[in-house]
Amino acid sequence: MAVKLTRMDGGIVDLPPEALQSFKAAFKGRVLTAEDAEYEESRQVWNAMIDRRPGLVARCTGTVDVVQAVRFARQHGLLCSVRGGGHNIAGLAVCEGGLMIDMSTLRGVWVDPVRRTACAQAGCTLGDVDRETQLHGLAAVLGFVSATGIAGLTVGGGFGYLTRRHGWTCDNVLSMEVVTADGRVLRACADENADLFWALRGGSGNFGIVTSFEYRLFPVGPEILGGAIAWHGEDAAQVLEAHRAFSATAPRELTSVAVLRIAPPAPWLPKEVHGKPIVAIFVCHSGKVEDGEALLAPLRATGRPIADIVTRRPYVQMQSLLDATQPKGRRYYWKSHYLPAIDRPLIDVAVAHAARIASPHSAILMFQIQGALNDLPAGHSPAGNRDAAYVLNITGSWEKSEDDAVNIQWARDCFEATRSFSTGGTYINFLTEEEGPDRVEAAYGRPNLDRLATVKHAYDPENFFRHTKSVSG
């Protein structure tokens, strides 16, 4: 029986059984249909709001499988999506009815401690890379949640606790192996396919499938000073004002994240505050621990903290400290701005909207990023936004579909109320499925977007890689 698959133009193609069998014979990994036991698990990504069903899933074992999948999709004109870690808020890894190229099992990491580099396959999570690099007291510039995939993070820009010291994640990529829309395997780096290399450092999945990344590593840990301090929600304005002054003068070795939310039943929080509003500051000092203790003293002395778990801890533990706030299988809806600074009017608006949070899992976060990324020109990479100092992320998170409307509206209201404080830019990896060309332009800026469109035309003129945030206009 023929398999019905979605074409790139939105139509349906009846794939003959012999065509599918030929593909399977040339493919070393597993090719899944809806009848296979692994299919449901393969199509389910982190955000439960995403409920698309690919017609086929090609679970790759290596670059050759990725090439075979691309050529097969091109031959039959199939809609195609690409899965790495499956952690993207918009669920771009999963297409409806087409072919999903799944690289989630490609999780090899090779560290060169002498050159201070790591090569990691595209299915790796942040945790995979951190564990291997920390064996040598080294770290890549990655994100905040260990289950996040490195591929989507990196080609979308990427930021984390080391960004203030070393820039965007994509600023610290040395080379990439890429499968292009015509099935070629290219190396992209500063002196080889340099235009493609530029585009992939923030331009998302528009130009090809990156099968491996070579990262620059930095000495970090293995122990850092990090953790979180929490206060009652009624003290939020005072704490955020103290944090504003604290973060504005902190050296680049110290990164902080302010969080407004309902207290979860976490063991580090007193039971009497569970289910009540809190404000928390997560901090990571990646320099000398002794220096960090002195720097954090004023923040720890602010008001009356209800919990303080800032301590010497392994860097890999710090990298997973926020994991419990982002479990796979919840429903997520995010809105985001870049901020040039935090000022008192913004604090007042954030506190007011935190008081209206519709779900105990939702939060308002302010990530500190100013530092090394501001030292480079806007056109250094598509990630751009070199005028940003903070990322404001409004994270709606809840359990049941019947609660979609109220939680989405809360996030939208908070987003609109904070728009006037933005640089006008936004982070491409935080854009939801509904956000269109105007927000893509806000993520890149017009000059970078025009340059991305030129590279797109050179490497993917037929827009084969269309299941992403388009840079083609």
**DSSP SS3 for 396:** strand
DSSP H or E segment with residue 312: strand 311-314
Question: b/e per residue, 227-265, with b = 16+ CB within 10 A?
Answer: bbbbbbbebbbebbbbbbebbeebeebbbbbbbbbbbbe
What pLDDT is recorded for position 48?
95
What pLDDT is recorded for position 277?
97
Which tokens go with 379? Answer: 């056109």
What pLDDT is recorded for position 262?
97
Q: What is d(CA 254, CA 468) in angstroms, rounded to the nearest whole number?
A: 34
What pLDDT is recorded for position 245?
93
pLDDT digits (tens, 9 = 90+) for 289-312: 889 999 999 999 999 999 999 999
Q: Are 100 and 56 in contact, with CB atoms under 8 Å apart? A: yes
Question: Which residue in 152, 85, 208, 203 sits closest to 440, CA to CA?
Answer: 203
Q: What is the CA radius of gyration of the chain?
A: 22
Which tokens go with 126? Answer: 């942040």
What pLDDT is recorded for position 1?
64
Question: Which residue in 473, 471, 468 sits closest to 79, CA to CA?
Answer: 468
What pLDDT is recorded for position 413?
97
Task: Concatenate the DSSP letters of all residues of 234-285 into one string.
Answer: GGHHHHHHHHHHHHHH--TTEEEEEEEEEPP--TTS-GGGTTSEEEEEEEEE
Output the CA–CA distances (angstroms, integers) from residue 183 to 55, 200, 405, 473, in the order listed: 21, 17, 42, 24
Q: Are 323 and 145 in contact, with CB atoms under 8 Å apart? A: yes
Q: What is d(CA 117, CA 50) in angstroms, rounded to the nearest whole number?
A: 35
Q: Are 80 and 101 in contact, with CB atoms under 8 Å apart? A: yes
Question: b/e per residue, 102-119, with b = 16+ CB within 10 A?
Answer: bbbebbebebeeeeebbb
pLDDT digits (tens, 9 = 90+) for 51-63: 999 999 999 999 9
pLDDT digits (tens, 9 = 90+) for 241-294: 999 999 999 999 999 999 999 999 999 999 999 999 999 999 999 999 889 999
Please state the pTM of the whole predicted model.
0.94
Q: Are 196 and 459 in contact, with CB atoms under 8 Å apart? A: yes
The residue behind tokens 């533990």 is 317
What pLDDT is recorded for position 473?
60
What pLDDT is recorded for position 3?
85
What pLDDT is recorded for position 221?
86
Q: What is d(CA 155, CA 136) in angstroms, rounded to the nearest whole number?
A: 25
Mean pLDDT of the chain: 95
Q: Each residue's pLDDT tens digit in the chain (473 positions)? A: 678 899 999 999 999 999 999 999 999 999 999 999 899 999 999 999 999 999 999 999 999 999 999 999 999 999 999 999 989 999 999 999 999 999 999 999 999 999 999 999 999 999 999 999 999 999 999 999 999 999 999 999 999 999 999 999 999 999 999 999 999 999 999 999 999 999 999 999 999 999 999 999 999 989 999 999 999 999 999 999 999 999 999 999 999 999 999 999 999 999 999 999 999 999 999 999 889 999 999 999 999 999 999 999 999 999 999 999 999 999 999 999 999 999 999 999 999 999 999 999 999 999 999 999 999 999 999 998 999 999 999 999 999 999 999 999 999 999 999 999 999 999 999 999 888 899 999 999 999 999 999 999 999 999 999 988 888 86
Mind listing the domains of the chain with CATH numbers? 3-102 (3.30.43.10), 109-219+447-459 (3.30.465.10), 223-430 (3.40.462.20)
What pLDDT is recorded for position 308?
96
